[in-house]
């Protein structure tokens, strides 16, 4: 049986620092980042020769994406742990409310006794969740939930059957979970480490959080992230012979702000760490760094740095594993899509008109971000292009449908029906023009450009440039982070519209920029918008 996804192949050799990790000079073609797209707060495990990874969801549904890989380099979305978590006004985009920047954050994935466990928490519902299944790719998930929500926790399954949860911010707390996952055992809460960020110094802007625990060769290794003032995000590791301590800690990695994650071993006995880095508007993206063992401590990186290449198989395209084109010729969108907030299933169909996804409205809205008809997937770096084909023949007066780049700072190109006259518009929320780089005014939409439209079929395109142009050791954006919008009446002759969208990453959405197909009504509900396809390319 594989406990906590760590089967200790050649463990004794690894603890002596003899794990055979190859040097950068013999690397075979995998490059960092392994996924140049928004996949933050990863939790990872290995079952046999297959790696599984869960990630943060925020306000997207279905939630907790489960990704799989055979080589740590190439990943694909295998499924999700849940469809929705709650039906509050915030999650349903009702009464002007939303859950941008909140929702479901970091998860923990484990495999114990032939069963998969995924746990997470949600700030809007105020609950902690466990999802269990014996078939992570094709099975049904059983749901367990309890209050309160325990932020960024890690779960420890002990050999004696006891289950523990560890989390905190600076001060780390351990609690015992009921065997049936129904809640926390009364009076089980204890302080595990009083100040887990101390190895990184006393002047921290972010205390230790994002806990991930691993039991390796009888020892407990607890990973956390912290952020020294004036420095970069840092990985701190504590170890102990007993789950309850005492723990000794040290900084184990501090380079380019790449941090928060844990350890993973390969079937041939090598070790790596999975971490993520903030990379501007594209989001928080995963990196893999090699690990060797010295005196029972994990030593991360190559000379303490994130290597550009790794001794792993060559990266392939993120298409179709993480992002994908969709001709909408099935009965539901492809697995890479998520709905912005909870879907309203009565407002979309892929069977009413075969080969299209049809959106309809049942209310009026004034803001793009409150649209309940919004299907979304990731952008990716260093550059990507997304295009869509829309049949706008059934738009009502006041309807707007198109292709967006969704984030705190958003932009879109769309068909607008105003008094029976259609036009193609480019809209953003920069409000003051391109010189106003930050912050956008929330709740304001600025129509930058408009051109007449007599066609019923219109094509849209949004090109994103996330090419790195800054020192990665600096705090802040690390890419060009610009997008341009286009339209066409034949899908071949593309015309630019509007201005350059200066994309940013902001805590009010807490996600990287995403492509989105959307439709909303400003005057009268009941119209329909039919999207024929969405295509994404490098």
Question: What is the SS3 assignment for 498-532?
Answer: EEEEECCCCCCCCCCCEEEEEEEECCCCCCEEEEE
Q: Beta-carbon neighbour count of residue 351 at 10 Å? A: 10
Q: How far apart are CA 144 and CA 130, in angstroms?
A: 5
421-460 confidence digits (pLDDT tens): 999 999 999 865 444 445 556 668 999 999 999 999 999 9
What region, left, alpha or beta, does residue 23 occupy, with left being phi > 0 and alpha being psi -120 to 50 degrees?
A: beta
Whether residue 260 contacts residue 41, with contact meaning beta carbons closer than 8 Å, is answered with yes
322-332 confidence digits (pLDDT tens): 999 999 999 99
DSSP label at residue 77: E
Nearest alpha carbon to residue 57 among 39, 44, 43: 39
Q: How far apart are CA 315 and CA 148, in angstroms?
A: 40
**pLDDT recorded at residue 508:** 87
Nearest alpha carbon to residue 198 among 186, 207, 211, 189: 207
| Segments of the chain with pLDDT less than 50 | 1-27, 433-437, 473-477
**pLDDT recorded at residue 29:** 85
| Strand partners of residue 374 | 518
Q: How far apart are CA 28 and CA 30, in angstroms?
A: 6
Q: How far apart are CA 231 and CA 437, in angstroms?
A: 24
Report residue 165 CA to chain centroid gap: 22
Beta strands in 382-443 (DSSP E): 383-391, 399-406, 411-418, 421-428
Tokens 């780390």 found at: 172
Element (H, E) at 11: helix 11-15
Q: Is the pTM of this model over 0.85?
A: yes
What region, left, alpha or beta, does residue 471 occupy, with left being phi > 0 and alpha being psi -120 to 50 degrees?
A: beta
DSSP label at residue 369: G
Q: In what order do the strands lie in the sheet with 374-378?
A: 60-61, 338-340, 374-378, 514-521, 399-406, 411-418, 421-428, 446-452
SS3 state at 98: coil
The domains located in the chain, with CATH, are: 3-310 (2.115.10.20), 338-537 (2.60.120.200)
**pLDDT recorded at residue 331:** 95
Q: How far apart are CA 487 and CA 461, in angstroms?
A: 6
Whether residue 101 contacts residue 340, with contact meaning beta carbons closer than 8 Å, is answered with no
Nearest alpha carbon to residue 15 among 292, 215, 220, 247: 292
């Amino acid at each position: 049986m594989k406990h906590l996804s760590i089967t200790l192949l050649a463990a004794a050799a690894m603890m002596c620092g003899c794990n055979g990790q190859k040097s950068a000079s013999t690397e075979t073609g995998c490059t960092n980042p392994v996924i140049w797209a928004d996949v933050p707060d990863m939790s990872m495990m290995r079952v046999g020769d297959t790696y599984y990874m869960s990630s943060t969801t925020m306000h997207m549904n279905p939630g907790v994406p489960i990704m799989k890989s055979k080589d740590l380099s190439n990943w694909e979305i295998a499924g999700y742990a849940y469809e929705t978590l709650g039906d509050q006004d915030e999650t349903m985009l009702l009464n002007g409310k939303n859950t941008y920047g909140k929702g479901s954050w970091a998860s923990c994935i484990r495999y114990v006794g032939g069963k998969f466990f995924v746990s997470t928490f949600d700030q809007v519902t105020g609950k902690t969740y466990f999802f269990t299944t014996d078939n992570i790719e094709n099975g049904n998930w059983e749901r367990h939930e309890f209050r309160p929500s325990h932020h960024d926790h890690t779960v420890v399954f002990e050999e004696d059957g006891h289950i523990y949860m560890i989390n905190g911010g600076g001060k780390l707390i351990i609690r015992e979970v009921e065997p049936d996952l129904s809640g926390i055992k009364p009076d089980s809460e204890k302080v595990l480490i009083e100040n887990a960020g101390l190895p990184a110094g006393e002047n921290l802007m972010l205390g230790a959080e994002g806990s991930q625990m691993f039991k390796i060769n009888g020892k407990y290794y607890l990973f956390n992230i912290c952020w020294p003032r004036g420095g970069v995000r840092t990985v701190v590791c504590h170890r102990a012979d007993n789950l309850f301590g005492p723990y000794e800690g040290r900084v184990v990695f501090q380079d380019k702000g790449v941090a928060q994650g844990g350890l993973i071993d390969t079937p041939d006995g090598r070790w790596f760490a999975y971490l993520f880095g903030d990379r501007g508007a594209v989001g928080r993206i995963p990196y893999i760094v090699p690990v060797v063992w010295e005196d029972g401590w994990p030593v991360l990186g190559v000379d303490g740095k994130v290597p550009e290449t790794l001794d792993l198989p060559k990266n392939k395209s993120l298409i179709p594993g993480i992002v994908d084109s969709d001709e909408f010729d099935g009965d539901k969108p492809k697995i890479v899509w998520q709905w912005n907030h909870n879907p309203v299933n009565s407002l979309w169909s892929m069977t009413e008109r075969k080969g299209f996804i049809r959106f309809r409205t049942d209310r009026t809205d004034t803001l793009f971000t409150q649209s309940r008809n919004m299907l979304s997937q990731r952008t990716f770096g260093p550059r990507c292009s997304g295009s869509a084909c829309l049949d706008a023949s059934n738009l009502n007066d006041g309807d707007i449908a198109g292709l967006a780049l969704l984030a705190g700072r958003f932009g879109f190109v769309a068909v607008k029906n105003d008094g029976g006259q259609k036009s193609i518009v480019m809209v953003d929320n920069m409000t003051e023009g391109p010189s106003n780089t930050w912050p956008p005014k929330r709740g304001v939409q600025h129509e930058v450009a408009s051109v007449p439209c007599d066609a019923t079929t219109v094509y849209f395109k949004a090109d994103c440039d996330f090419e790195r142009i800054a020192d990665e050791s600096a705090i802040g954006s690390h890419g060009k982070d610009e997008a341009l919008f286009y339209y066409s009446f034949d899908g071949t002759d593309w015309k630019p519209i509007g201005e350059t969208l200066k994309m940013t990453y902001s805590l009010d959405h807490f996600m990287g920029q995403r492509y989105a197909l959307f439709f909303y009504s400003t005057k009268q509900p009941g119209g329909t918008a039919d999207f024929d396809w969405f295509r994404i390319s490098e």
